[in-house]
Amino acid sequence: MKFIIFLMFFLLSVRVKNSVHCIVTPELEPVQLLDFTSNDNKTVTLNKASVENLFLNPLVSDRDVVVVSIAGALRKGKSFLLNYMLRYMYANYKTVSAPNRTINELTARNWIGDSDEPLKGFSWKSSTKRETVGIMFWSDVFLYDSPNGDKIAIFLMDTQGLFDHSSSPTDNIRIFSLSSLISSVQIINIYSMIEESHLEYLQFATEIARFTAVESESNSKPFQKLMFIIRDWISPEEYDYGYEGGNNFIKMYLRIKDFHTSELKTVREYLKRTFESITCFLMPYPGKSVARNSSYDGRWSDIDEEFVDVMTELFPILLAPSNLTVKTVNGVPIKAYELLIFIRQYVDMFKSENLPEAKSIFESTLDNQFQILTSKSVEVYLESISTYQDHISNFDEIGKLHEISKAIAMKFFNEEKKFGSNEDGEVYKMQLDNKLEKAFAEWKPITVDFLNKIEEEQSKAREQKKLA
Ligand code: GDP
Ligand code: MG
């Protein structure tokens, strides 16, 4: 009898477990949709077979689509978060792999699975090796049939690092542009604080995407939801963790202020014009095991409680049935098979010969950025010269002041945040060097004259003293 009760209890618990928990089985995996090859800037390859499997599957092809993408620098926990998102999705939706599964009513936390279950899904880890290459989709598609008859397919997408200095800037820009074109929700994953360079980067990546996008005949904005997720948020006392704090923060950050330069104003206006909604979500530090332990397997028992709580707040905001954002083009919802047609078209456009405007925008933005940085660095040099010039008392010190001021200006140039590769930077550094040498050639003779005059006066004074 005891055995039968035990067996019933066991079978019941297995059923409940399977119906609620993430079922990331070995045959489910991330599939690469687009491959970007840095060696040849012209290559964006569409993985035809996997794309067709995903979008033309009979369970999917005729459904409206929701595509949630996450982008941002390497090793900032994107894939880790996405894998918890997968658990939330499996707990809430049927999938192509299990279309007849029963979905139980969820209580607040039971989407998350067992506390000691290792985290699976998109490859994630603390190593320095790049884990996500190009644009990856989860191979399972989530299905939602709304009570009013809408049929929706939900895709999750992981991308290679944006704002990431370890790969070619052209690749990064193309990855972000393409993922913005394909997705209906674009998450920008940022560590600790938004910086102006992030906004500028977004501006020119979306500008490139806009060139590629199908010509708009409606008044709709080209892109839909943009959400900044800030990890390891540093000022919870000012703006609290979660959605409300995040939105108050982003409103403040994007508000145009009197002291803003025209560039800061333009980038803010641009983003507001381009995305239908811009929101933000602030996340706490997840704890030492997640952030520091290289053998950590992702189990949630080792994550700080507060982090798990904010994940539980975050996922429904993006992915609950009532909050799904269906992908539109020119304001019109598109079906999965139509999205595939657009993706093919975008990829063709992105073979860079077809995208001269985009290339030139990229190059001219890069050029503008470095020109501004170079003139600021020259100013830093001249400031140092003017501060110490009056204290020069002999000819040796002229050269020394030049060398020291040059080092200060170069340090400023190197440390200022910028995008573009190191090679791009080297070209402009040489230009800066030339400008500083030119500036030296201008002030040196004046100072030499000045010292000569002082010396002349001093020797005159000595002569007079002697005569006296
Ligand atoms: P990705 O390259 O952005 O996809 O980063 P991964 O998801 O592969 O994670 C990189 C490392 O960051 C892993 O060791 C994670 O355990 C860790 N990590 C995940 N989330 C966070 C977070 O919110 N803060 C910190 N500091 N580390 C995190
Ligand atoms: Mg990753």
Spatial separation of the C-alpha atoms in residues 65 and 374, rounded to whole Å: 46
10 vs 162: which has the higher pLDDT? 162
Tell how far the Cα of 329 is from the centroid of ligand 2, in angstroms. Answer: 28
| Cβ–ligand 1 contact at 327 (below 6 Å) | no
| Ligand 1 contacts CB of residue 162 (under 6 A) | no
Closest ligand to C-alpha of residue 136 is: 2
pLDDT at position 67 over 60 = yes
Q: String of b and e for 119-132 (b: at least 16 CB within 10 Å)? A: bbbbbbeeeeeebb
Q: Strand 328-329 and strand 332-333: pairing?
A: antiparallel
Question: Which amino acid does the sequence have at 261?
Answer: T
Q: Is 286 in the pocket of ligand 1 (CB under 6 A)?
A: yes
Q: Whose CA is nearest to atom 8 of ligand 1?
A: 124
| Pocket flag, ligand 1, residue 300 (CB < 6 Å) | no
- Per DSSP, the chain holds a count of helices (H) and strands (E) of 13, 12
What residue owns the CA closest to ligand 1's atom 12?
A: 77
Residue 346 Cα, ligand 1 centroid: separation in angstroms? 30
Q: What is the signed CA dihedral for 145, 147, 148, 154, rounded to 10 degrees?
A: -30
Q: What is the residue with the minimal CA distance to atom 26 of ligand 1? A: 291
Ligand 2: centre distance to CA 388 (Å): 50
Q: Looking at per-residue confidence, does 127 or 333 come out higher?
A: 333
Spatial contact of 185 and 66, defined as CB atoms under 8 Å apart:
yes
Q: Is the CB of 311 under 6 A from ligand 1?
A: no
Q: Residues 141, 205, 170, 42: is their CA dihedral positive or negative?
A: positive
- Pairwise CA distance, residues 432 & 92, whole Å: 57
Q: Which residue has the higher pLDDT, 3 or 159?
A: 159
Q: How remote is the CA of residue 29 from the centroid of ligand 2, in Å?
A: 14
Yes or no: say if 202 and 170 are a contact pair by the CB < 8 Å rule: no
Atom of ligand 1 nearest to the CA of 83: 7
For the Cβ of 84 lying below 6 angstroms from any atom of ligand 1, the answer is no
CB 314 within 8 A of CB 88: no
User: CB of 76 closer than 6 A to ligand 1?
Assistant: yes
Mean pLDDT, rounded, of the chain: 82
Best mutation site among 69, 70, 74, 75 for ligand 1 pocket (most ligand atoms within 8 Å of CB): 75
CB atoms within 10 A of CB 41: 15
Ligand 1 center–CA 71 separation, angstroms: 13
Q: Please report the atom of ligand 1 found closest to the CA of residue 123.
A: 8
In the reported structure, the alpha carbon of residue 387 is separated from the centroid of ligand 2 by a whole-number distance in angstroms of: 48
Taking only the tens place, the pLDDT of each residue in 17-62 is 333 444 555 567 888 887 766 555 556 778 888 888 899 999 999 9
- CB of 124 closer than 6 A to ligand 1? yes
Summarize the confidence of residues 358-365 as an average pLDDT: 58
Query: Which range is most confident: 250-254, 329-333, 337-341?
Result: 250-254
Q: Which residue has its alpha carbon closest to ligand 1 atom 21? A: 77
Q: Which of 329, 339, 37 is nearest to 174 (CA)?
A: 37
CA of 70 to the centre of ligand 2 (A): 9
Q: How far is the CA of 343 from the centre of ligand 1 (A)?
A: 29
| CB 78 less than 6 A from any atom of ligand 1 | yes
Residue pLDDT, tens place only, 398-408? 999 999 999 99
C-alpha 37 to ligand 1 mean position (Å):
24
Mutate to test the pocket of ligand 1, among 81, 119, 123, 124 (most ligand atoms within 8 A of CB): 124
Q: Which ligand does the CA of 297 lie closest to?
A: 1
Lowest mean pLDDT across 92-106, 136-150, 280-294: 92-106
Instruction: Name residues with Cβ closer than 5 Å to ligand 2, which is an ion.
Output: 78-79, 131-132
**Rg (the chain; Cα; Å):** 29
Which pLDDT value is given to residue 25? 58
Q: pLDDT class for 384, splitting at 50, 70, 90?
A: very high
pLDDT band at 229 (very low <50, low <70, confident <90, very high): very high
Q: Which residue has the higher pLDDT, 395 or 154?
A: 154
Q: State how far the Cα of 419 lies from the Cα of 417, in Å rounded to an integer.
A: 7
Nearest CA to ligand 1 atom 27: 291
More confident residue, 341 or 157: 157
